């Protein structure tokens, strides 16, 4: 079980979006589809609904949601202009006309109360320092009887097996640095109760898991972990905060490489997805 990072008392940095906006990140993120990543939410959508996608990224999921609610209007917002450019270009390329994208933060949202039938938030809350505040904002813009769908990784269940003390230390340090940088890596454990606190009167919730258990998947995972460990958002933070040394970080990278060529390496991370409804008297 990863260590609890929620009680770290050192002053956190201002929130920063850790994945960045490189072409490589854009390539894998735009492979996301409504059929897989939005599957839990699609049954709750119907033609004519007005839908908001918060933190829409490159828009590949948004466009599928737009087809589910057509001729209803879809608005995708993202804090990063380049994501909005990419999403708008994709909509144009695919000839989707019931969607518009705009640069905006999730909190505060630039929309009046009760202006959407549905709100979707995929892989965004994890990156925020206070997911509950953002959820309250999403619920605020829902009409009475509206529906919200939220999906995120829950890093309180993340294992690299066969475990070793150094691999465990790497995993715990990753969560600690993420929290320090303004993310909420284990918030999704409370996803259902946060939706209730945000104002939903009915909720449902489920968990699933992504796993890596082949040589190619493990090799890609090792590369991603080492790139992150050596990144400016990780390496200097771990050293400056006294959580690691150059030697212990080099040991972690070596251990990851050694793990990556084992025939029995296996990794799994939990995902949580929840749906909430506001009361019809909302």
Ligand X SMILES: C[S@@+](CC[C@H](N)C(=O)[O-])C[C@H]1O[C@@H](n2cnc3c(N)ncnc32)[C@H](O)[C@@H]1O
Minimum Å gap between C-beta 111 and ligand X is 13
* Residue showing the smallest CB distance to ligand X in the complex: 57
What does R_g of the chain's alpha carbons equal in angstroms?
19
| Residues contacting 49, CB < 8 A, separation 6+ | 69, 72, 117, 118
Binding of ligand X by 57 (CB under 6 A): yes
Binding of ligand X by 79 (CB under 6 A): yes
| Sheet architecture: strand order including 266-277 | 99-103, 74-78, 51-54, 116-122, 142-161, 266-277, 202-212
Of 224, 227, 226, the C-alpha closest to 210 is 224
CA 66/CA 97 separation, integer angstroms: 9
Q: Which of 56, 118, 167, 229 binds ligand X (CB under 6 A)?
A: 56
Sign of CA dihedral 222, 226, 229, 232: negative
Instruction: Report the Cα 109 to chain-centroid distance in Å.
Output: 18
Closer Cβ to ligand X, 55 or 276, answer by number:
55
Minimum Å gap between C-beta 30 and ligand X is 7
Dig out the tokens for 137 from the structure. Answer: 């904002």
Interface with ligand X by CB under 6 A: which range of 49-57, 138-146, 193-201, 243-251?
Answer: 49-57
Max Cα-Cα span within the chain = 59
Closer Cβ to ligand X, 118 or 265, answer by number:
118
The CA-based dihedral angle spanning residues 185, 189, 194, 196, taken in that order and rounded to the nearest 10 degrees: 160
Q: Which of 45, 51, 55, 66 binds ligand X (CB under 6 A)?
A: 55
Binding of ligand X by 32 (CB under 6 A): yes
Q: Which of 5, 75, 78, 137 binds ligand X (CB under 6 A)?
A: 78
Binding of ligand X by 106 (CB under 6 A): yes
Q: How many residues at the interface with ligand X, by CB under 6 A?
A: 19
Closer Cβ to ligand X, 167 or 174, answer by number:
174
Interface with ligand X by CB under 6 A: which range of 50-58, 169-177, 221-229, 273-281?
Answer: 50-58
Binding of ligand X by 19 (CB under 6 A): yes
CA 185/CA 71 separation, integer angstroms: 36
Minimum Å gap between C-beta 16 and ligand X is 9
Find tokens 């466009």 and name the residue. Answer: 63
Site for ligand X in 110-149 (CB under 6 A): 122-124, 127-128
Residues of the shown chain interacting with ligand X in the complex, contacts defined by CB under 6 A: 17, 19, 29, 32, 55-57, 61, 78-80, 83, 105-106, 122-124, 127-128
């Amino acid at each position: 079980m990863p260590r609890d990072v929620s009680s770290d008392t050192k002053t956190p940095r201002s929130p920063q979006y850790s994945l960045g906006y490189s072409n490589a990140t854009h390539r894998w993120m735009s492979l996301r589809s409504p059929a897989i990543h939005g599957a839990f939410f699609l049954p709750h959508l119907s033609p004519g609904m007005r839908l908001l996608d918060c933190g829409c990224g490159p828009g590949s999921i948004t466009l599928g949601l737009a087809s589910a609610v057509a001729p209803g209007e879809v608005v995708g917002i993202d804090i990063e202009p380049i994501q909005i450019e990419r999403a708008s270009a994709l909509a144009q390329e695919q000839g989707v006309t019931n969607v518009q994208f705009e640069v905006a933060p999730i909190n505060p949202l630039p929309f009046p109360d009760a202006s959407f039938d549905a709100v979707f938030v995929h892989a965004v809350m994890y990156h925020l320092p206070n997911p509950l505040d953002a959820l309250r904002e999403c619920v605020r813009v829902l009409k009475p009887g509206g529906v919200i769908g939220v999906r995120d990784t829950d890093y309180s269940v993340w294992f690299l097996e066969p475990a070793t003390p150094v691999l465990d230390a790497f995993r715990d340090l990753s969560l600690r640095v993420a929290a320090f940088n303004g993310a909420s890596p284990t918030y999704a454990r409370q996803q259902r109760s946060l939706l209730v606190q945000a104002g939903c009167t009915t909720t449902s919730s489920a968990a699933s898991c992504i796993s890596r258990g082949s040589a190619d998947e493990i090799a890609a995972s090792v590369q991603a972990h080492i790139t992150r460990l050596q990144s400016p958002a990780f390496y200097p933070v771990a050293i400056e905060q006294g959580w690691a040394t150059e030697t212990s970080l080099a040991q972690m990278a070596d251990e990851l490489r050694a793990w990556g060529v084992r025939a029995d390496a296996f990794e799994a991370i939990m995902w949580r997805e929840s749906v909430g409804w506001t009361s019809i008297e909302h």
